[in-house]
Chain A
Amino acid sequence: MKIDFRLNGAAIQVDCAADRRVIDLLREDLGLTGAKESCGAGECGSCAILVDGEGKLSCLMLAAQLEGREITTVEGLASEGRLHPLQEAFVEKGAVQCGFCTPGAVMASLDLLRRNPNPARAEIREGLAGNLCRCTGYQKIIDAVEAASKIMQRRERP
């Protein structure tokens, strides 16, 4: 079926099976391999994307569910070669090791900061409880989200 939606700020139409998993649509058909698949069952958070600004797991979504929605993947965050403050913080604070969970963790963090712009460290830990990381022990990810929240709040103030 034909599905119309917006992907990283641009209107797009795809023609695929209605029940094609969104993760496959993104990675295989559209070449956006930033979202990763690690469990295929909603247990790890590696495939997180934003749908109308809300964090969703693309391995649990079907293509038909994208109709009319605004989709953001990790590839859509940096603009004109400038990293999003959250990405910048992940780099600077050392939150990236193997990097396979990183796109999902960044997207989940964005979702968290949208809901709670100034989270305490314990709230960041809870907010990222669905994103498994096997390398970092999470501490530097928490550092990065904490640092980014401060920068993002400063920027949003008039």
Chain B
Amino acid sequence: MGEVRRHKRHSEGALHIGASTPRADAYAKVTGAEKFAADYYSSDMVWAGVKRGAAPHGVIKGIFTDEACKAPGVIAVLTHRDIRGSNRQGVVRKDQPVLADKKVRHCGDAVALVLAEDRETLLRALDLIRLDLEALPGVFDVEEALKDGAPLVHEDNAGGNTLLEAHIQTGDGLTAFERCDEVIEGRFETPWQEHAYLETEVGWAQQQNDGKVVIVASTQTPFRDRAEVAEAIGLDLEQVRVIAPYTGGAFGGKDGITVQTLLALAALHSNGRPVKMWWEREESFIAGTKRHPTRLYYRLGAKGDGVLHALAARLYFDTGPYDHLGGVVMTLALEHAGGAYRIPHALLDAWCVYTNNPIGGAFRAFGVTQVTAAMEQMMDMLAARLDMDPLELRLKNALTRGEKTCVGVTLTGSTGLVECLERVERHPLRTERYAWKAAAGPFKRRGVGIAALMHAAGYGTVVPDYANAKIELTPEGKIRIYCGVVDMGQGNASANAQIAGSILNQNMDSMELVLPDTDRTLPSGSASASRCTYTFGNALIGAAEILKNRILQKAADLLMAPSTDDLTLAPGKVVNRATGAQIPLSRLGRLMAESERTAISHFRAPVAKDRLDVTDELRLHGLGHAVISYGAHLAAVEVDEITGAVEVVSYLSATDCGRALNPQIYEQQIHGGICQGLGFALFEDFRVEQGTVKSPDLATYIIPTAPDTPNMESLPVELHEPTGPFGLKGVGEIATNGPAPAVANALADACGIRMFRLPMTPERVLLALRGRETR
């Protein structure tokens, strides 16, 4: 716990911005040495697990734990009665019980917590707990939930089943449709998407002798978790420490509490023994959060020449029984509902709705994936109606710097949509598409589709998007970075080493990373929102520059140089260029006081400055972002007319990512985002019937495998972002948004069918093909 990571490296020389340096974490991961939260064990460890209500909606009449308590090997059985704190958690609205008290509101609600000597005993004890639930009628559809008389998920919620609603009008709103030559309408449905990270929710906790509870968890949000845990179970903030190792995948599903509070509660009842909790795959699928399912009604109007004129959209988000991040997800979707296009008149309405379905939450690209799937199909439908090329239609309407989005946000940063579209336009997959399509074999149809993307980074206008970077020259002469933002697999910890290493002219061997730990690193927000390297990187540049000046000043003093002008940092030392004199960093590290050799810097990300005509509540939920990435995607697909299977043969993306600090990590993010987007588009069918999950494992919920995935080309469009660290913008999420519309548009190009419901499974494609024939 709390160890420092050193890196065995094979390449030499100082680190550079723009170099594809292999990641600092790869060595320990490829040898099996890296210790994830799942890898914590000890001989005196206690296993903890959760009894779940297993009913979508009901009143808790009784929780009978006597038999479980008496079972040999059971250490404790806890219910809501054992919680001293608020027993409520949640990121924005604290509406989720740690252990259900009055009601269960979805099948995954936790009702009792068991501590046992081993896993077998734990599972037996969980089976011995009996629940007396009085079933209540449930509500499982967003529009049904908004009707009068619908069963209420939270009786005390002022808005009924509405968690958050928003209405934005710009320009003339709906009346502008009267002046349109063409109006297109569409109703789209997108499903839940399960994160399906390889490391399911897991953690380890122990109460120390001084009463402090130390939690090691697979989490994106250690600092926020700490406060939530403390409040929910009645501890002081200082009594909780959260340590966040590298996660085995997170993608938004660990943006908030999973096991943390339960583990801390268990640790209070384990007599000082460490406690481990590790959700099984089925439990993860049932109790974990998912990408919100949506129903999206779109109406898009244009002039006869293809100039967009008006947009009306009604967006419904199913957040399940708890807010989690539902209101924030909905608000980001609203901001992106009209894409990166010039649309002078708009009326956008959105509702985030409580139901008794699984919990909706953060998932890579945070609501933007859903609205982009709709809007980018609308663009192709409009292009078809106008008999225009889809790419030309997008170029004609693409926003450029200084213009406003349809919600009224002015694009002040680098704005590279046009450049991305032009890169795709010139690519052989585009220029040679007619020949490729014509070469399809018997019973095969080929099509090429595109999508244009924008994705805003950071928290938006009100909630401060900040980071505090700390860096140290150690007495051993190493550079130690105290990472405040979790590395959930995206490589930001390694990027930190590259940033500081390039400023201090050190190689990877000299870099040490301290991963997020509420006792050792400084609060720097969540690992989310395409913000990690942007926000923390900016803070780290500040800290590294301070440290550099201090090191050079100290070296000047010791070398009796008149100033630092002739001094330069080299790997492991400072060199006087004028005299050739050298001084090793290890000597400087020993001679500098801790306060001298430690530097801290704060950065807060810019936000949109427009005075938008929206409610304070919407602003609080994030409306108005300033730093935005752009992209253009192309999918080339082959459809089997006999089976309905859609094969994505080639995939191209061009991304305005600002400066790519490490092109290899840039590609990793784009590849991963595309692959998850392809899963969303084609395979991932999370099925829920009356609140019950019907696809509880990886055999019934199909994520893309290696043979399912096409060759991907990922062109960086490196427009300099003036506010970014070395010109960078975040690219953690944007690529996820492209595949659904690009593949749907390719499918329409191939066979003339339009898929309004995802995923585009062979069955649905076949039905659509038959429908086309009968029509």
Contact = CB atoms under 8 A, between A and B. Distances in A.
Nearest to B20: A94
Interface residue range, chain B:
35 or more
A109 to B, nearest CB: 11
B711 interface: yes
A104 to B, nearest CB: 9
B199 A33 contact: no
B651 to A, nearest CB: 9
Contacts of A55: none
Contacts of A140: 667-668, 671
B664 A94 contact: yes
Given A38-B281, A91-B26, A133-B198, A142 B706 contact: yes
A41 B489 contact: no
Given A137-B709, A138-B709, A98 B246 contact: yes
Contacts of A132: 196, 198, 698, 703, 705
A81 B10 CA distance: 11
Determine which residue in A27, A33, A44, A101 has the highest number of CB atoms from chain B within 10 A of its CB, and name it: A33
A129 B706 contact: yes
A102 interface: yes
A74 B32 CA distance: 6
A41 to B, nearest CB: 6
Contacts of B668: 94, 97, 135-136, 140
B249 A134 contact: yes
B23 A94 contact: yes
B678 to A, nearest CB: 8
Contact of A77 (B20, B23, B31, B247): B31
A133 B41 CA distance: 25
A86 B249 CA distance: 22
Contacts of A124: 706
Contacts of A100: 36, 38, 197-199, 248-249, 489
Contact residues of B: prevailing secondary structure: loop
Determine which residue in A41, A133, A141 has the highest number of CB atoms from chain B within 10 A of its CB, and name it: A133
Contacts of A110: none
B675 interface: yes
Contacts of A74: 30-32
Contact of A96 (B20, B23, B250, B251): B23
B17 to A, nearest CB: 17
A158 interface: no
Contacts of B247: 98
A138 B29 CA distance: 16
A114 B488 CA distance: 32
B489 A98 contact: yes
Given A38-B199, A124-B706, A97 B672 contact: yes
A63 to B, nearest CB: 15
A96 B25 contact: yes
Contact of B490 (A28, A97, A128): A97
A78 interface: yes
Interface in B245-286: 246-251, 280-281
A44 B698 contact: yes
Determine which residue in A37, A125, A140 has the highest number of CB atoms from chain B within 10 A of its CB, and name it: A37
Contacts of B249: 98, 100, 134-135
A103 B199 CA distance: 13
A43 B50 CA distance: 24
Contacts of B704: 137-138
Nearest to B247: A98
A39 interface: yes
A135 B199 CA distance: 12
B34 A99 contact: yes
Interface string B121-142: 0000000000000000000000
Contacts of A97: 489-491, 668, 672
Determine which residue in A81, A135, A136, A137 has the highest number of CB atoms from chain B within 10 A of its CB, and name it: A137
A131 B200 CA distance: 16
Interface string A106-134: 10000000000000001011101111111
A73 interface: yes
B281 A129 contact: no
B697 to A, nearest CB: 6
Contacts of B488: 98
Nearest to B669: A97
Contact of A91 (B30, B676, B712): B30
A73 B32 CA distance: 9
B699 A43 contact: yes
A35 B39 CA distance: 10
A33 B42 CA distance: 12
A49 to B, nearest CB: 11
Determine which residue in B23, B32, B195, B698 has the highest number of CB atoms from chain A within 10 A of its CB, and name it: B32
Contacts of A126: 706-707
A77 B33 CA distance: 12
Contact residues of A: prevailing secondary structure: loop
Contact of B281 (A33, A40, A96): A40
Contacts of A128: 705-706
Given A94-B667, A137-B671, A99 B26 contact: yes
B491 to A, nearest CB: 7
A28 B118 CA distance: 11
Interface in B10-24: 10, 20, 22-23
A134 B26 contact: no
Contacts of A36: 36, 38, 198-199, 248
B461 to A, nearest CB: 31
B35 interface: yes
A125 B674 CA distance: 17
A46 B711 contact: no
B27 interface: yes
A32 interface: yes
Interface in B620-669: 664-665, 667-668
Contacts of B280: 40
A106 B32 CA distance: 10
Contact of A135 (B32, B667, B672, B699): B672
Given A97-B490, A126-B707, A139-B709, A41 B34 contact: no
Nearest to A127: B706
B8 interface: yes
| 8 tightest Cβ-Cβ pairs between the two chains A and B | A34-B32, A98-B489, A100-B248, A99-B29, A137-B675, A137-B671, A33-B39, A74-B32
Interface of B: 8, 10, 20, 22-23, 25-27, 29-36, 38-39, 41, 195-200, 246-251, 280-281, 488-491, 664-665, 667-668, 671-672, 674-676, 697-699, 703-707, 709, 711-712
30 contacts: A33-B32, A34-B32, A36-B36, A36-B199, A36-B248, A43-B697, A44-B698, A74-B30, A83-B27, A94-B23, A94-B668, A98-B197, A98-B198, A98-B249, A98-B489, A99-B30, A99-B248, A100-B38, A100-B197, A100-B199, A100-B249, A102-B29, A125-B706, A128-B705, A130-B705, A132-B198, A132-B698, A132-B703, A140-B668, A142-B706
Given A33-B38, A124-B706, A140-B667, 7 more contacts: A32-B32, A34-B31, A36-B248, A77-B31, A99-B29, A132-B703, A134-B196
